[in-house]
Amino acid sequence: MVTHTLVFAFPADMTDEDRAEFFREGSALVLGTGFAETYRHWPHVPLTDAVGQVLAPVFTPSAMAQVECRDFAAMRRLFAHPSLAAFVGRWQSRFPYQAVSVNTGPAQPE
């Protein structure tokens, strides 16, 4: 099993309802391709220091998502799926967001 973790930084004008729609659509799309085994997401919980400043201010996340695929070949097919590119393009045009990703799994990609 391999895991693709996304850390999102959404713009301030993206409402909670917009985020819920983003993740609802994203989950349905990813799982609907048949290439992913699981999809989950959750909000970021910021930590502050003693004076209330957010720690790690260089990239302050809004939420995370994880997609698990059976292997790297399935993950590559998922990322090449045309509907995923359309989803990203549509949401980026509505709410330009930043995302950082990390892939974990076997020590060596297949």
The model carries a pTM of 0.86
Q: What is the pLDDT of residue 108?
A: 60
d(CA 96, CA 54): 22
d(CA 24, CA 13): 19
d(CA 9, CA 97): 6
Residue 29, SS3 per DSSP: helix
Tokens coding 91 = 């949401």
Residue 5, SS3 per DSSP: strand
Residue 109 has pLDDT above 60, yes or no: no
C-alpha angle 24-71-65 in degrees, rounded to nearest 5:
25
| Confidence class for position 58, pLDDT limits 50, 70, 90 | low
- Fold of the domain built from segment(s) 2-49+61-104: Alpha-Beta Plaits (3.30.70)
Interval 7-33: pLDDT, tens: 999 999 999 999 999 999 999 999 999
The ranges assigned to domains in the chain are: 2-49+61-104
Residue 59 has pLDDT above 90, yes or no: no
